[in-house]
């Protein structure tokens, strides 16, 4: 098993370990994504079908923080819409179709303005305006909605009629509920014409778990492949199909090495065969003692003869 300590096999082992570690990192990354997705699904299932609670219980005032675990909380509020300040949120697909959301500020009774996504409309949204969408109910309205976390908007991405991110302070002003917006469920009284309902939240866990196991399997296969190759190498050496000293990357006694100067060959010169410096030193140390004969497999002798013939043709011998 000394061949396992050769430079070639140490390189194999180093590569296998690094590749297995890389697979382990990817498996850990996929597992983290799976845990995040599972937590999100748990929030949806806990809140989406739950009874409504007053908005003030979740957000006591417009600047109240909105915790991650409160996402999709089902709330109820009373107030009036500011229909003349409606906006369009672009790039909001539904069931594979392009579309946009209609956003309307809602002045909550008792203070504060909740930006509400009232519904979905098909189209690109690039040239759409909220004025084309069905209007919200006039006067006092009681609505139920799910709370979603506010997004960070960029004024450069917005136009006078449409936006990309739902950033309530940026879109409504300082009196807006800063950290959440409403995802409409129902309105009382009902509007004269309704928008299409917003998409139901997706609870598909995805393929993160299977990807985790795949990367673990790949890492095990890489390490197992190197072990299997080492066993085959040892078996070949024992059967005499592979020279042990060659497998260990060592200099073989009794073998004459040829030093070739590539620059000389390109210039048309001829180099005569001779021993390598390492082989010469080993021969000098041995003195007049003749090297012990070694049995070389027939396949190896044939390979050496082919190599000698090819080298002689290059040297012009």
Q: Which of 231, 250, 269 is the last residue of a domain?
A: 250
**Domain hosting residue 89, numbered range:** 71-188
222 in the same domain as 206: yes
Tell me, yes or no, whether 41 lies in a domain: yes
For residue 222, what are its two tokens? 């890489």
Tell me, yes or no, whether 194 lies in a domain: no
90 in the same domain as 173: yes
User: How much is the CA Rg of the chain, to the nearest whole Å?
Assistant: 38
- Which neighbouring-strand residues pair with 78? 142
Tell me, yes or no, whether 101 lies in a domain: yes
For residue 203, what are its two tokens? 């609870």
Residue with more model confidence, 247 or 149: 149
Residue with more model confidence, 130 or 186: 186
Residue with more model confidence, 142 or 298: 142
Find out whether 153 and 81 touch, Cβ atoms under 8 Å. Answer: no
Tell me, yes or no, whether 195 lies in a domain: no
Q: Is 250 a residue whose pLDDT tops 70?
A: no
Percent of the chain whose predicted confidence (pLDDT) is above 90: 51
For residue 60, what are its two tokens? 């006591």
Tell me, yes or no, whether 2 lies in a domain: yes
Tell me, yes or no, whether 297 lies in a domain: yes
224 in the same domain as 150: no
258 in the same domain as 234: no
Residue with more model confidence, 286 or 218: 218
For residue 244, what are its two tokens? 């042990």
Least confident of 1-5, 80-84, 87-91, 109-113: 1-5
Q: Which of 157, 188, 219 is the last residue of a domain?
A: 188
Tell me, yes or no, whether 58 lies in a domain: no
Find out whether 185 and 156 touch, Cβ atoms under 8 Å. Answer: no
145 in the same domain as 85: yes
273 in the same domain as 212: no
Characterize the bridge pairing of strands 140-149 and 180-188: antiparallel
Tell me, yes or no, whether 56 lies in a domain: no
From residue 52, give the alpha-carbon distance in Å to each of 16, 56, 82, 147: 56, 12, 23, 11
Residue 269 pLDDT grade (very low, low, confident, very high; cuts 50, 70, 90)? low
Strands, DSSP E only, in 140-204?
140-149, 162-163, 180-188
233 in the same domain as 260: no
225 in the same domain as 175: no
Find out whether 257 and 200 touch, Cβ atoms under 8 Å. Answer: no
267 in the same domain as 180: no
For residue 202, what are its two tokens? 């997706």
Please give the Cα distance from 102 to 124 (Å, whole number). Answer: 13
265 in the same domain as 168: no
pTM: 0.65
Supply the mean pLDDT for the chain. 83
Q: Give Cα 122 distance to the centre of its chain.
A: 31
3 state SS of 191: coil
161 in the same domain as 75: yes
- Residues 32-79 have pLDDT tens digits of 999 999 999 998 999 998 999 999 999 999 999 999 899 999 999 999
Tally of structural domains, the chain: 3
Please give the backbone phi and psi of residue 152, each rounded to the nearest 5 degrees, phi first.
Answer: -90, 115
157 in the same domain as 101: yes
- Residues 178-226 have pLDDT tens digits of 999 999 999 999 998 889 999 999 888 889 999 999 999 999 999 999 9
Characterize the bridge pairing of strands 74-81 and 140-149: antiparallel
Residue 3: the pLDDT is 77
Find out whether 112 and 175 touch, Cβ atoms under 8 Å. Answer: yes
């Amino acid at each position: 098993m000394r061949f396992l300590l050769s430079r070639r096999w140490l390189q194999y082992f180093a590569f296998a370990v690094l590749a297995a570690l890389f697979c382990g990192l990817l498996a850990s990354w996929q597992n983290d994504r799976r845990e995040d997705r599972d937590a999100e699904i748990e929030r949806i299932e806990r809140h989406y079908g739950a009874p409504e609670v007053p908005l003030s219980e979740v957000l006591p005032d417009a600047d109240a923080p909105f915790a991650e675990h409160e996402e999709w909380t089902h709330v109820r509020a009373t107030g009036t819409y500011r229909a003349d300040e409606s906006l369009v949120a672009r790039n909001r697909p539904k069931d594979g179709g392009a579309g946009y959301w209609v956003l309307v500020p809602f002045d909550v009774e008792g203070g504060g303005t909740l930006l509400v996504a009232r519904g979905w409309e098909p189209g690109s949204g690039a040239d759409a305006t909220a004025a084309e969408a069905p209007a919200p109910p006039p006067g006092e309205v009681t609505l139920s909605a799910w709370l979603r976390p506010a997004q960070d908007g960029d004024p450069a991405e917005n136009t006078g009629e449409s936006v990309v991110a739902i950033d309530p302070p940026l879109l409504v002003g300082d009196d807006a509920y800063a950290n959440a917006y409403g995802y409409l469920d129902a309105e009382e009284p009902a509007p004269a014409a309704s928008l299409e309902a917003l998409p139901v939240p997706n609870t598909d866990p995805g393929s993160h778990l299977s990807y985790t196991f795949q990367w673990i399997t790949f890492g095990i296969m890489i390490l197992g492949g190197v072990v299997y190759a080492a066993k085959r190498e040892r078996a070949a050496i024992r059967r005499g199909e592979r020279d042990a000293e060659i497998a260990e990357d060592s200099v073989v006694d009794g073998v004459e090495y040829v030093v070739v100067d590539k620059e000389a060959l390109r210039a048309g010169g001829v180099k005569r065969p001779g021993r390598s410096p390492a082989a010469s030193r080993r021969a000098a140390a041995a003195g007049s003692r003749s090297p012990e004969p070694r049995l070389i497999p027939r396949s190896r002798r044939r390979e050496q003869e082919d190599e000698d013939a090819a080298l002689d043709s290059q040297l012009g011998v």
